[in-house]
Amino acid sequence: MATLISPLNSLRANTTSGERRFAKRLEALLEEDYLCWYDVPVGHARLRPDFVILHPSRGLLVLEVKDWKLETLKSIDKIRAEILVNGALKTVANPLEQARQYALQVVNKLTEDPQLIQSAGPYQGKVCMPWGYGVVLTNITRKQLDATLTEEQQELVLPGRLVICKDEMLESTEAMEFQERLWGMFHYAYGRKLTLPQIERVRWHLFPEIRITTTQRELFAPTDAAVVQEESPAMTIPELIRVFDLQQEQVARNLGSGHRVIHGVAGSGKTLILGYRCVQMAEALTKPILVLCYNITLAAGLRSFVRQRGLEGKVNVHHFHEWCGQQLISYHVDWDRKATAAWKVQVEAVIAAVDQGQIPRAQYGAVMIDEGHDFEPEWLRLVSQMVDPATDSLLLLYDDAQSIYRNKCGLDFSLSSVGIKAAGRTTILRKNYRNTREILSYAFDFAKDILDPHAADDDHIPVIRPESSGGSGVRPAFRQCQSLSDEIDYAARCITTWQARGDFLGEIAVIYTQKAHGSLIADKLAGAQIPHHLMTDSGHKKAFDPSQNRVNILSAQSSKGLEFGTVIVLGIGQMETEKQRGELNAKLLYVSMTRAKERLLLTASCKTDFTEKLAGLASAELVAA
């Protein structure tokens, strides 16, 4: 069964009956190594062929599908056709010429990549795979076509070998017969079987929106999903590329309407999918979109993402308490600002105002909640009421293994009890793409006793064991120091070395576990004249900008949802390890370690259960003090 990136049950409402029938035939009559995209914009020009089919051996095929009936088609030449629409003649492009132009633009783009062209022989410089194009006439039989156009006429406007007719895509059609029809459409049969990295490169070029950037600053830079013009000819194609895996792409493209819940391990691409969804929904909705998270620093990063894509005004990003404060101000709600637990009173005031009708419900066309595991049930109940029932679009992203603000492991309430309709609408992402295998293994081995994976139904949240999909890299390093001052000095020396060799400082994070440690490392870096950004208060957290060439210094809590090439975690020896506090700190340390994509350094100056375990793990490189 072929892999349809747009599953049949999620095809858009205006899909024609012929397109739907053809999609069913592709799914049923092709093997699982065929990848099929339906009505997905291709490249920066946002071309929209009806179907794109990719196979490792067969190559790339572009198809246009027409539901024309014989009486609909009045005339056709090589360039255009005249069809009858509601009793009036309409001139449209010849679908074969349309498919040809799409295919040529795709192939020309692929030939710009040195890894996707023939390197030697008579076809040197040509794309390294077979390719072709064709037309599917879902309501015209082969007999009808032959009776209408002579063989000579067909050769000029719709060559028979490039057309699949109604009677050649029946439910009873044999798989081999159907596949031979497709294979006959390939004009250029040179090339060899594509490797998996080459298939990923093809997807990288065809669908820029599924690219996974190698640095965080690129994640928050303008993406190709929002750009319609062609790339500059001088654009550098990276030697190593990363894209969504097929499950991530299917999830991102096919979330559909209604409520959706994504359970994903750390580094599985949840925030990438949220970003893709923002762009997708902003094009379709008239009401604004609300994106919420708990973490101030993550909100700043997401806000930068939105700003760079020109989505301000369409997508509103806030951390939860900021949004509550904005609601109280906007709707002139009085509340006790001097209360001891002002943040809690603030939320209660918003809930009461919504219940009393002072703050309106249904303010947003869509609501998306990142890091939803940090939300209290009453917060989720409040936010779920903000979705316009006409669209009813809500997306909740969750990983219970990263729940560090709530004292309980897992939800002690059902999603349905807070207004989230998750039954049958949940997706689990198990693969970690952020971390190297060494970092992920090290982090999980440290925390696995308190991250015991367990299953749950759609209305609750499971803890998921992460599966590594990252590459191999250097082993995490643990250094036991004599004092906190030694930890600070060592971290500063490492950063100085990395700066001297040209590393981008924005990809370096120092994560502290005690607030005072952040100021100490900041002072040390200032003395060494190393640019840095210390995030100890909400103002500095809101100013987080991953595109700036400066070391980011932040707490373990503030690091949630972010990622950096290199991470240093300081002061582990000062973390409490006993009882419930120890369990939460273990989670906190797990979150901190999984922020690192390529390089992880941990330091301590006191010996505790945590430091002994970190030092003893087989995957760690023990660095003598």
Q: What is the pLDDT of residues 525-583, one digit of tens each?
A: 999 999 999 999 999 999 998 889 999 999 999 998 899 999 999 999 999 998 788 88
Mean pLDDT computed over 463-491: 87
586 occurs within a structural domain: yes
- For residues 303 and 171, membership in a common domain is answered with no
One-letter-per-residue 3-state SS of 66-88: ECCCCCCEEEECCCEEEEEECCE
434 occurs within a structural domain: yes
Instruction: State the pLDDT at residue 224.
Output: 40
pLDDT class of 100 with cuts at 50, 70, 90: very high
Mean pLDDT computed over 595-619: 90
- CATH code of residue 498: 3.40.50.300
68 occurs within a structural domain: yes
- For residues 184 and 250, membership in a common domain is answered with no
Mean pLDDT computed over 51-64: 95
Question: What does each C-alpha distance from 138 to 8, 80, 316, 414 come to in angstroms?
Answer: 17, 19, 44, 46
123 occurs within a structural domain: yes
- CATH code of residue 281: 3.40.50
Q: What is the pLDDT of residues 186-237, one digit of tens each?
A: 977 776 789 999 999 999 999 988 887 654 444 444 444 333 333 444 457 7
pLDDT class of 584 with cuts at 50, 70, 90: confident
Instruction: State the pLDDT at residue 470.
Output: 66
- For residues 423 and 553, membership in a common domain is answered with no
204 occurs within a structural domain: no
Q: 21 with 90: CB under 8 angstroms?
A: no
Mean pLDDT computed over 168-179: 95
- For residues 536 and 610, membership in a common domain is answered with yes
- For residues 459 and 516, membership in a common domain is answered with no
Structurally, the chain folds into a number of domains equal to 3
Instruction: State the pLDDT at residue 175.
Output: 96
Instruction: State the pLDDT at residue 412.
Output: 67
- For residues 188 and 304, membership in a common domain is answered with no
- For residues 146 and 260, membership in a common domain is answered with no
Expressed as residue numbers, the domain containing 560 is 477-623
- For residues 503 and 453, membership in a common domain is answered with no
Mean pLDDT computed over 490-503: 96
Instruction: State the pLDDT at residue 213.
Output: 63
Mean pLDDT computed over 442-467: 67
pLDDT class of 464 with cuts at 50, 70, 90: low
Average pLDDT over the chain, rounded to an integer: 87
153 occurs within a structural domain: yes
Whether the predicted pLDDT of 469 surpasses 80: no
Instruction: State the pLDDT at residue 79.
Output: 96
Neighbours of 286 (CB within 10 A): 8
- For residues 131 and 275, membership in a common domain is answered with no
* Alpha-carbon gap, residue 545 to 531, rounded angstroms: 13
Q: Which of 467, 500, 515 delimits the end of a domain?
A: 467
Instruction: State the pLDDT at residue 623.
Output: 47
Low-confidence winner among 200-204, 426-430, 496-500 (lowest mean pLDDT): 426-430
Instruction: State the pLDDT at residue 232.
Output: 42
What lies within 8 Å, CB to CB, of 172 at 6+ separation is none
Catalogue the long-range contacts made by 100-105 (C-beta closer than 8 Å, 24 or more residues apart). 100/133, 102/42, 102/47, 102/49, 102/62, 102/64, 102/133, 103/49, 103/60, 103/62, 103/131, 103/132, 103/133, 105/43, 105/45, 105/47
Instruction: State the pLDDT at residue 223.
Output: 40
Mean pLDDT computed over 499-523: 96
234 occurs within a structural domain: no
Q: What is the pLDDT of residues 257-267, one digit of tens each?
A: 789 999 888 78
Q: Which of 467, 499, 517 delimits the end of a domain?
A: 467
What b-and-e string marks burial along 107-142, b requiring 16 or more CB atoms within 10 Å of the CB?
Answer: bebbeebeebbbeeeeeeebbbbbbbbbbbbbbbee
Q: What is the pLDDT of residues 347-378, one digit of tens each?
A: 999 999 999 999 999 999 999 999 888 899 99
- For residues 154 and 95, membership in a common domain is answered with yes
Q: Which of 467, 494, 522 delimits the end of a domain?
A: 467
- For residues 158 and 270, membership in a common domain is answered with no
* Alpha-carbon gap, residue 462 to 454, rounded angstroms: 6
Q: What is the pLDDT of residues 122-138, one digit of tens each?
A: 888 899 999 999 999 99
* Alpha-carbon gap, residue 377 to 25, rounded angstroms: 45
Neighbours of 501 (CB within 10 A): 6
Q: What is the pLDDT of residues 303-350, one digit of tens each?
A: 888 887 788 889 999 999 999 999 999 999 999 988 888 889 999 999
From first CA to last CA, the distance across the chain in angstroms is: 57
**Tokens 């992460």 belong to which residue?**
466
Question: What does each C-alpha distance from 182 to 61, 101, 166, 435, 585 come to in angstroms?
Answer: 8, 18, 14, 40, 57
333 occurs within a structural domain: no
- For residues 499 and 535, membership in a common domain is answered with yes
* Alpha-carbon gap, residue 445 to 441, rounded angstroms: 6
Instruction: State the pLDDT at residue 293.
Output: 94
Instruction: State the pLDDT at residue 454.
Output: 53
